[in-house]
């Protein structure tokens, strides 16, 4: 096969870097790690999918998860939201009006009462469960994208 033809058929070589920088970029903004590695189309598609899911979640009255000591699974849901990086901050500001990550332990704490009132208001919405599902899905998708970027940058995947 001629050398010119070989260059056309072979995929572009990935930038060889430490996998941690692209992973960090993928966490900062969905698709940014793929974009950094030269996977431009894939980056745009992934970015649109995660942003659409996140936006639908907030628009459907979903809320960011908050750690409640009485609810063990709230730790996992909060970790899932954190996988969205700075987008999680937006979700928390929309949901709680502040960057709340944990319910105060004292039941009479005014901050706890305020946070639970905000949650109750959202739970009463018909689309609340759908919104939460979209938000959790966006976080899970971004975790998968971070892992994909790690595999690409470390040479495990082409």
Domain annotation covers residue 71:
yes
Domain count for the chain, please give it. Answer: 1
The mean of the pLDDT values for the chain is 88
Domain annotation covers residue 5:
no
The answer to whether the CB of 63 falls within 8 A of the CB of 136 is no
To the nearest whole percent, how much of the chain has pLDDT over 70?
90
Rounded to an integer, what is the distance from CA 157 to the centroid of its chain?
22
Nearest-angstrom CA–CA distance, 71 and 77: 10
* Unique residue bearing structure tokens 């063990």: 72
Domain annotation covers residue 39:
yes
Q: How many residues does the chain have?
A: 158
- Domain of 48? 16-154
Domain annotation covers residue 76:
yes
Domain annotation covers residue 1:
no
Say what the pTM is: 0.83
Tell me the pLDDT tens digit for each residue of 36-61. Answer: 999 999 999 999 999 999 999 999 99
Tell me the pLDDT tens digit for each residue of 98-131. Answer: 898 999 888 888 998 999 888 888 888 899 999 9
Domain annotation covers residue 60:
yes
Domain annotation covers residue 90:
yes
Give me the mean pLDDT over the 29-42 stretch.
95
Domain annotation covers residue 133:
yes
């Amino acid at each position: 096969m001629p050398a010119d033809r070989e260059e056309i058929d072979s995929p572009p070589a990935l930038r060889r870097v430490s996998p941690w920088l692209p992973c960090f970029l993928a966490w900062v903004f969905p698709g940014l790690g793929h974009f950094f590695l030269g996977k431009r189309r894939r980056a745009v598609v992934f970015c649109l999918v995660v942003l659409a899911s996140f936006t639908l979640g907030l628009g459907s009255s979903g809320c960011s998860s908050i750690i409640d000591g009485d609810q063990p699974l709230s730790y996992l849901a909060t970790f899932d939201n954190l996988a969205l990086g700075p987008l999680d901050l937006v979700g928390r500001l929309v949901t709680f009006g502040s960057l709340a990550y944990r319910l105060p332990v004292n039941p009479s704490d005014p901050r706890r009462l305020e946070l639970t009132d905000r949650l109750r208001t959202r739970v009463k919405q018909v689309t609340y469960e759908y919104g939460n599902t979209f938000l959790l899905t966006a976080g899970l998708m971004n975790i998968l994208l971070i892992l994909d970027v790690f595999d690409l940058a470390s040479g495990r995947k082409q």
